[in-house]
Structure 1
Amino acid sequence: MIQFVGLDEQYYPAMATLLSKRHQVERIRYSFLPKRFEEAAETENLLREIAKNPFVNGIVALRDQQVIGYMLYEFKEDAKKGRHIIIDYPCLAISEDAHPRLIRLLYAEAGAEWIAGGYFQHIIYVPIGYDRLVYEWLEQGFRFEQKYAMLDIKNYEPKAKHTDTSAINIRRLAENDTEMLKSMSRWNSIHQASAPSWNPITKESLQDVKSGYAALAKDAEAIVMIGEQEGIPVGFHVYYEADTSSNMYTPNQTVDLPAASTNPQYRGRGVGKALADASHAQLKEMGYDYALADWHTPNHLASYFWPKLGYQPFMIRMVRTVDNRIAWAHGK
C-alpha cells in the first residue's frame, strides 16, 4: 500500500537519489545537461535549497517505508496569473519501478490542498527526456504552453543562403538605437496575438514592452544583434549570459535568448537565419558554448524555426486551469 507523508529531514537522501537517477535517464538523450546532477549529493543540495522557500511545500510517497516518489510545489500569487501553483523542473521524481500512475496519485493528494486554498491554475515544468511523465500530465488535463530548447553553438552550421542575405547588414546594438528598438518592439507582440497563438496584447502591456526594448540600448549585460536592409530594421536577437547555478539544466557558458523577431514585411526572406548565423558566430567568439531558447507552443513560426536551426527541445511547461466553480458547485 502507498502512503503519502509530508516533507521530513529523513526523506531527502532518498528523494535526491530518485532525482539523480531521473537525470541520468535524461542525459542519455540530452548530453548537454550538467553531468554533476547525476550525483545524489548535488541533487540533495538542490532540493534542500528549494525547500527553504517559505512558500514551498511537498509530499512524499512511501511503499513499505521506502521513498518511491515526491512532489515539491510553490504557492504563488501575482496580478497576471492570480493564485497559482508551480512545480519546477527538479520538483518531481518517481522510482523507476513505480507505475507512472503514481504521478496522478501525488497530484490528487497535493491538489486537494491547492483547490481548497483557491489555487486553480497549476503549472509544471516537465523533462521531455522522461517521456512517461509527459503522458501522465496530459491525461490529467494539462496542456503544452511553452517549450525550452538548447543549441550547441560550438558545432553550429550556418543556415542562411548568401544570395538571400547579402543585402542585410548585421551589427551589434549601439546606444543611439533607442528609437529603432521602440519601432521593433511591436513585431513579436502583434505576431503572438494573431492566429493560431491568439495571445492577447493590451495597449498597456505593449507600452511596457516598448519601454523595456528601449532600455536595451543602455543595458551593458545585453548582447543585442540588429539586422538592417537599406536603412530599414529587419530583425533582432537579444541574448543574456545565463545563470548556471540556479537550475539543473543549464550547462556552463550558456546564453539565454529571451527575445527575437523579424520585421513582418521581411519574413520569408532569410532574415531570421542570417541573424542566427551572425549571432551564433559572435557568441562563439565570445566564448559561449550553448544557447537556451523558449517559445509559446501555439506560435507556429517559432515552433518551426528554432528546431530547424538546431535547437533541441528538452523541457515543456504544462498548464492546467481548474474550473473555479469547483469551489462551490457540488450538485447541491
Structure 2
Amino acid sequence: MSSVEIVPFNEDYVEAAAALVAARYWAERELGNFLLPAKFEEAEAIVPILQDNSERTTGVAAIKEGRLVGFATGLMTMHQEARTAYIPDWGHGAESSDRWGTYRLMYADLASRWVANGYFTHVVTFFAHEREVADAWFSLGFGLENIDALREVGPVEGTMAGVEVRRANLEDLEVVIALTLATRRHLTTTPAFRPLFDHEGVEYYKQQLSDSDIVWWLAYQDSEVVGGMRIVPSSKRNFVLPVADESTCAITMAFTKEKERNRGVGTALLKHSLDWARSAGYKNCAVDFESANIPGSRFWLKNFQPVCYSLVRRLDERIAWAHGNRNEINFLR
C-alpha cells in the first residue's frame, strides 16, 4: 500500500480540492442542514473562492498514487491581536479512506512552517456534522472556541419582556458604543476570558449608524437602555459558506444588561430583528458566538442551529527558542 505524500499546494490542485469541499458541503446538507444554500454543493462555486484567496494562503496537498486525496490551506491573519494561521471551512478536505490520518499529516507539515514564521495561534473551521474531521483536530490539541449558527426568519418562541424596542440612529451614537464595549467587557469574564483590546473609533460607529443596510435595535425599560442588537447583510462580513448567501442576514452584536437577563429582553430584540429581516426580503439569519460565553451560547443555541464549529490551538511561544536543536550548553547555565 502506497503512503501519502505531503507537498505544497498549488493551482494545479484547485479543481480537485474544490471537489473535496463540495462533497463535504453536500454531505452536510444531506444530514439535515437544509437551510444551507445549495450552490456550494457544486465544485464550480468553490473554485473561485480558492483562486481568489491563493495569494493570501499557504497550503499543502496530500498526494497518493499521483492523485489528490486531501488538502489544507490557511490564511495568515490576526486573531485577538495575535498572529494567526486560519484554515476556513472552504480551505480543507480529505477523502474518507483515511481522513483522520490525512488531516494529521497535513497539519504537521503546515504547523512547522507556521511556527517557524511566528504564527503560534492556529484556528480551523468545519461543518457542524463532520465528526471524523472534528476528532482529527481534537487529537492535535485543538479546542472549541466559536460556533456559527443559522435559522429561518420565522416567528420567535419564548417569553418577551415588556420593553420598548426601536431602531437606533446617529443620536444614539454614545449608547451604541457603550453597548458594544459592555459586550466585550462581558467576554473578559469567566469562563471566556477574552482579552479586551482597543475597539473601533467613533467614525466606525457613525458609518454603521448611517448605513441603511445595517440595523441597530435598542431595548428600553422605563427610559433606560437595557439591551441592543445589530443585524447586517452577510455580504458585509467574511462569513462561512453555510451563511454566505444574499438571502441571509447576520446578527453581529447582541447584549443585555446583567440585571435584565432571563426576562425576555434578548427574545424581544431577536423578534424585532427577524421581523425586519423578513420584511427586507431575507430568508435566513445567522449568528456566531463564543462557546465559552455561557449566557450567550444558551440563548443562541435555543434559537439557532449550529452549522460550523471553529477550533483553536494556542502554542507555547517559548518553543521558538526552547526547541530540540538548542545548544546543549544552554542547559548547563
TM-score by length of 1: 0.88
- SS at 1:197's partner residue? coil
Count of aligned pairs? 320
2:214 to 216, 222, 232: 222
Q: How much does 1:325 deviate?
A: 2.1
RMSD: 2.3
Report whether the alignment pairs 1:178 with 2:173.
yes
* Residue 242 of structure 1: aligned partner: 234
Q: How much does 1:48 deviate?
A: 1.9
Distance 1:256 1:179 in 2: 23
Change (3 A) 1:273 1:328: same
Instruction: Find runs of 4+ consecutive structure 1 residues off by over 6 angstroms.
Output: none
Deviations along 1:166-224, one digit per CA (max 9) or x if unpaired, are x311111233222333443443123212222222335xx26x47775566433433211
Distance 1:11 1:184 in 2: 46
* Residue 297 of structure 1: aligned partner: 291
Distance 1:214 1:306 in 2: 28
Change (3 A) 1:210 1:198: farther
* Residue 59 of structure 2: aligned partner: 58
* Residue 246 of structure 2: aligned partner: 252
- SS at 2:14's partner residue? helix
Distance 1:8 1:324 in 2: 29
Change (3 A) 1:270 1:231: same
Q: How much does 1:79 deviate?
A: 8.6
* Residue 35 of structure 1: aligned partner: 38
Distance 2:290 2:135 in 1: 19
* Residue 260 of structure 2: aligned partner: 266
* Residue 185 of structure 2: aligned partner: 190
- SS at 2:241's partner residue? coil
* Residue 124 of structure 2: aligned partner: 124
174-183 or 250-259, which moves further after superposition? 174-183
Change (3 A) 1:174 1:11: closer
Gaps of 5+ in 1: none
Change (3 A) 1:324 1:179: closer
Change (3 A) 1:111 1:287: same
TM-score by length of 2: 0.88
2:194 to 171, 175, 199: 199
* Seq. identity, %: 24
Q: How much does 1:49 deviate?
A: 2.0
* Residue 159 of structure 1: aligned partner: 157
Report whether the alignment pairs 1:47 with 2:50.
yes
Report whether the alignment pairs 1:325 with 2:328.
no
* Residue 110 of structure 2: aligned partner: 110
Gaps of 5+ in 2: 329-333
Distance 1:74 1:179 in 2: 35
* Residue 69 of structure 1: aligned partner: 70
Report whether the alignment pairs 1:284 with 2:278.
yes
Change (3 A) 1:209 1:260: farther
Q: How much does 1:122 deviate?
A: 1.0
